[in-house]
A and B are shown apart, each in its own frame.
Chain A
Amino acid sequence: MFQGLPLLFRINTNKMRQFLFIAFVALGFTACQTQDSSPSEGENSTIKVVATTSILTDWASNVLNDEFEVVPLLKKGIDPHVYKPTKKDLDILREADVILYHGVHLEGRIIDVLEKMQGKLIIDVSKDFTTEDIISDPNFPASQDPHYWFDTELVKKSINTIVNELVAEYPGTEQDLKRRVKNYELAINASALSVHDIIDEIDSNMRIVITTHDALSYFARAFHIEVNTLQGASTVSEFGLREITELVDFICENKVPAIFLENIVSPQAMESVQRGCEEKGFQVKLGPELLSDSLGSEEDQDTYLEMLTFNARTIAAYLAE
């Protein structure tokens, strides 16, 4: 009895510990599970539209009415070029009725997933573009620049594509959606005009925007500015010492007053460009982040139209001395 008791006690605590451990782990798993599944328990009366980027989400929510529920796949500040979809993203996509994506190879890895989706309306919003619409590298015509949302004319094409496709699928929505597209087009035109006004205030010799990756070519084409960058159209492409030194020389020669960062690219390279210019005796200002592949999280940058004017205003403020 006295000998047996401690042994019994020990076995009990060991077993107890094991049990507690397993219980905790199991509890942890179920806790995660319930957390994951709770938001999907909404009613099914609305048509669920998933848009890949925050920009596309903003367009969709402007032109779609209450019958549609628009959900973004990527949160703000996330680089769509290299984003790898997670299981949660797959769940979001699986629950969607309609999926919108930019196309022109913007969504690198997400496309692979979309190709496997079945029984959904999947809309490439750039499918009605002509080859002249899309900017591509003259040396490599296959490499197309996907950042077309900085050209407001192309955005208007995109939203019409979205609405036409949706109306074909859900005919009852036609009148309301067409009216909303008209309104949004007017708003886009107004923003484009104000961007033109802001850019025109900059001295015409100083209309040079220098950023890390080549996201602003369409902006440059639409609003008549020059761009010079470190990386190509995708953030995946590598830059070397040569690109940095050439950019430094370009800045010093043209006395470009400011260089800009981007919200999805590391500031490190631009900082070393700035240091290089400084050493060469030219003080170049390091501007704030421009919004390129994602909307910003601040109050005045979180819609597409605000993004346009925010970029224009930032560029103007730093380039006009």
Chain B
Amino acid sequence: MEVFYKYLTLTDPNVRYVVLSIVLLGGVSGAVGSFNFLRKKTLVGETVAHSMLPGVLIAFLLSGVKNPYVLVLGAAISGWLSILLVDAITTHSKIKGDSALAIVLSSFFGFGIVLLTMIQGRYVGNQSGLDHYIFGNAAAMSPEDSVAFAWVSVAVLILVVANYFSLKAIIFNPDYAKSIGISRKRINGLISFITILSISVGIKAVGIVMMSALLIIPPTAARFWTQRFTPLLLISGFFGAVAGWLGAYVSYSQTSMPTGPWTIVAVSVIAFISMLFAPKRGVVYQRWNKLMLKRRINEENLLKTAVQNEVRGKGKLFTRTAISERQFFELKLWKRTIRRLVRKGMVTKVNTGYTLSGKGRRYGAEIDRRHKIWEVYLQRRMQMSVHLVHDEAETMEHFLTPEIEEEILGELGLCSRFNPILEIHELIPDTEVA
């Protein structure tokens, strides 16, 4: 607890540098990543990050020093070259986008590894630490790093706010954007620029291999929580920042825990939680919804059939066999459905069978009514054959809302007290119904 309090208040200077750096980096990459995510070009980040290795090493070879600004510049240049190369390959050859990305990624990274092995193989002064650019070294951030991350955040923020409308237009409706004179080239260039900017400063902290995770995973997670542009940007940035904060905490509270990889683990956990438990789009919610729908359909089918049997004069008492003549119920399903209906007070058990309560009868009759209204509608408006309308209506009866029902009746010129049960016999011959 004391460790947590110390961490929370940022009393330790090294904790301060690391937390500031990684939280800013997580936030910026999360927000920047959502542009690529929405353009469905998430792998661009991966390619750019990997393509920066030769840039870093060539910058080191040319300058002979490990000045972070020089190395970042080298990284940015080779990252930018990789984007140009991907564009050139996709426009001038038959190679598709994902293959082009893969080709550029592996060739640049491979070249980088060749350079790294060469540098390590011969004695080039103070070369140690260059391999940190591959896996990152987030625990050893300095105040200069925090300042650099802060500047990048400010720059990205300004660029995004200034071009907010154009970005939105290009991403969601490029044709419209073109028609009102927004340059697609300029906005795509802008997205590439902020992507390169955040990756080139980020690789020192989390490394080339893991950098793209910070661009790809936060927007993916955020997408489960919203379907609007601005909230997506904000939530994505927030997730990235929280992951950075958590990663640094693990690294601070436990021994021998690297900060960067834990940040990536944290952001992945956030993504899995979002995928499973987000309201509306989460897997759990959707599964639950589906289950509820299935249950409701079974209940409605049972009630409807019972009502139909009553109307047909087969008596108020019904059993599984009687219902299954028209609507087959497996024993297990029957037991479960009837138990729920009894609990809801729609059905009561009488000796060997069941009987509908007033509530259950009204509900069943309502479903039957919807079924028939849809059948009538299909016949009169869609000119469908009498033989086909039943199956269609079997599904639609569960989805018609009172509002739609009202509208259909209006269109058919029928009064709202229209009772299809009486009318149905003139539409479908008795033999057909049986």
Contact = CB atoms under 8 A, between A and B. Distances in A.
| A, B from the same assembly | yes
Nearest to B143: A275
A1 B248 CA distance: 79
Nearest to A267: B129
Nearest to B140: A269
Interface in B107-141: 117, 120-123, 125-129, 131-132, 137, 139-141
A287 interface: no
A70 interface: no
B123 A77 contact: yes
A283 B14 CA distance: 15
A269 B251 CA distance: 15
A241 interface: yes
Contact of B259 (A241, A276, A280): A241
Nearest to A262: B128
A240 B123 contact: no
A91 interface: no
B67 interface: no
Interface in B69-122: 117, 120-122
A240 B256 contact: yes
B418 to A, nearest CB: 73
Contacts of B12: 245, 248, 276
Contacts of A266: 128-129, 132, 137
A50 to B, nearest CB: 16
A243 B256 contact: yes
A284 to B, nearest CB: 13
Interface residues of A, number: 36
Nearest to B138: A241
B258 interface: yes
A240 B137 contact: no
Most chain B C-beta atoms within 10 Å of own C-beta, residue among A264, A265, A272: A272
B128 A83 contact: no
B25 to A, nearest CB: 15
A162 B269 CA distance: 54
Given A78-B120, A265-B128, A244 B13 contact: no
B379 interface: no
B70 to A, nearest CB: 15
Given A77-B123, A272-B140, A242 B251 contact: yes
A97 to B, nearest CB: 24
B424 interface: no
B256 A237 contact: yes
A86 B259 CA distance: 32
A177 B258 CA distance: 49
Contacts of B131: 82
A278 B142 CA distance: 12
Given A242-B257, A297-B123, A268 B129 contact: yes
A238 interface: yes
B173 interface: no
Nearest to A247: B14
Nearest to A280: B13
Nearest to B118: A86
A244 B14 contact: yes
Contacts of A269: 137, 139-140
A244 B128 contact: no
A243 B139 contact: yes
B257 A240 contact: yes
B255 A242 contact: yes
A249 B255 CA distance: 15
A119 B256 CA distance: 42
B211 to A, nearest CB: 17
Nearest to B253: A242
Interface of B: 12-18, 117, 120-123, 125-129, 131-132, 137, 139-143, 248, 250-259, 262
Given A240-B251, A242-B256, 15 more contacts: A75-B121, A77-B125, A79-B120, A238-B256, A238-B257, A241-B248, A242-B257, A248-B12, A265-B128, A266-B137, A267-B126, A267-B129, A272-B14, A272-B141, A273-B14
Interface of A: 75-79, 82-84, 86, 232, 237-245, 248, 263-269, 271-273, 275-276, 278-280, 297
5 contacts: A83-B120, A264-B128, A267-B126, A268-B137, A271-B142
Closest 6 CB pairs of A and B: A266-B129, A279-B13, A240-B251, A241-B251, A269-B140, A276-B14
